[in-house]
Amino acid sequence: MRSFAPLVLSLLGATAAVHAAEPEVADADANVVTLTTDTFDEFVKEHPLVLAEFYAPWCGHCKALAPKYEEAATELKAKDIPVVKVDCTEEEELCRTYEVDGYPTLKVFRGPDSHKPYAGARKSDAIVSYMTKQSMPAVSNVNEENLEEFKALDKIVIIGYVASDDKAANESFTSFAESQRDNFLFAASNDAALAKAEGAKQPSIVLYKDFDEKKAVYDGKLEDEAILEWVKTASTPLVGELGPETYSKYMAAGIPLAYIFAETPEEREQFAADFRPIAESHRGAINIVTLDAKLFGAHAGNLNLEPEKFPAFAIQDTTKNAKYPYDQNKKVDAKDVGKFIKDVLDGKVDPSLKSEPIPETQEGSVTVVVGRNYQEVVIDNEKDVLVEFYAPWCGHCKSLAPKYDELAALYADVSELNEKVTVAKVDATANDVPDSITGFPTIKLYPAGAKDSPIEYAGSRTVEDLVTFIKENGKYQVDGLADGAKTPEERAEVTAAPKATESPASEEKDIHDEL
């Protein structure tokens, strides 16, 4: 393990000053340094760690980020971590070199030849936290003198208390720290007396945090998977605040998420206090969050709640996308809702299912799927099923519709193919589906015999390419354009359809933002 001294100001060593002979460089004393093609490589060579934003002046997201970026730069400058920006409308070649395909793009540089995407939230404190982690060794050494200083470096820090002669434990902790260094600050101490003073023993891990009970101790097996599960739970507030910066973390937690919608900060604060004991009793089984109903009240509709009747409560099983809305005619009382939470976790409550009526007859070649027949049509059969998840308002979905109808006809009109392949569609705004759909249209193939491993389509939206996708990924390898599938004249008509000129990456999806 690398040594940890002194703590902040000398983390990176002395940084070279920008050459006075390079007038192209903006004022190096600025918090955010403006770089150009002529100055970029030299600047990142001279600084061991640099955060760079590639932007366009007209970009709305860039304008929204600017004050947060400036605030983060001010704080990071005191830690000798330069923050820079590049105007891609002026420096097109430089931005192409670093594969910038959207604005803003943030990248972390360790010299011009070593860079990776910034993976944190676009908030000033998140940027500071992420870059501080990048500046530190994977595992720093702490002792009695610098322990408190280290604990104050971030909202969450993790310290392993491991004896120096415990080679296996040291290797396990270091390996875990390396894998999670983008997410947390890590340190280690081999001082048994210090461990005891911190309420730990050797070997163990202590997670320090600036919320809830302030610290948690892990003394189980030092195995990556077990440690990660513990860290996920221990680092999550008992009752957190849900927003754009935290949404993805909660969605990836792998356990149900309970939402408390409230319109005022005072209400949310009171609900957090009332529900904290309930969250503690179910810790690791469910996460509970408050949500600003004025900003994100529309999300209530996604949970089968009335989106304008608050306060409100609902549970979402994020792995199955099952939803359990609490009766909005009842008061959101912690005691009563606590019983509801327990019943949901015990499997005593049936999930709510939003669904259009099952079609009495299927009109057209594309099979219409709704919430109530999704399992039957898509999952519980021995057919390869291609499903388009669409939204009625989605422009790209409307453009795809005639080609998707042509595709479906290739299989529906030939009995031997119809027995093996179904081409279906579902309005994902009006029907609950097990999959989490974030953009429209989304197209997935559910192969026979492997329904639990659907394959998402990412190619050009042409009939010919979709036929190839079904053939190459389906169980039966059916070719909808093969001899016998259609007459030569019909096949010629289909294959003559123009191919899209844009790549999937450049053909922008209509995004349905949940938060």
Enzyme catalytic residues: 59, 62, 394, 397
Per residue, the 3-state secondary structure of 186-223, as one string, reads: EEEECCHHHHHHCCCCCCEEEEEECCCCCEEEECCCCC
Strand segments (E) across 4-109? 32-34, 50-55, 83-87, 105-109
Report which residue type is found at 432.
D
Residue 20's SS3 state is coil
Q: Which two tokens stand for residue 506?
A: 């450049």
Residue 432's SS3 state is coil
Q: Do 132 and 183 touch, CB atoms closer than 8 A?
A: no
Report the C-alpha dihedral over residues 27, 32, 38, 44, rounded to 10 degrees.
110
Q: Which two tokens stand for residue 316?
A: 């979402």
Q: Which residues pair with 421 in a beta bridge?
A: 384
Residue 246's SS3 state is coil
Q: Do 25 and 212 touch, CB atoms closer than 8 A?
A: no
Q: Which two tokens stand for residue 436?
A: 């989490």
DSSP string, 341-387: HHHHHTT-SPPB---PPPPSS--SSSEEE-GGGHIIIIISSSSEEEE
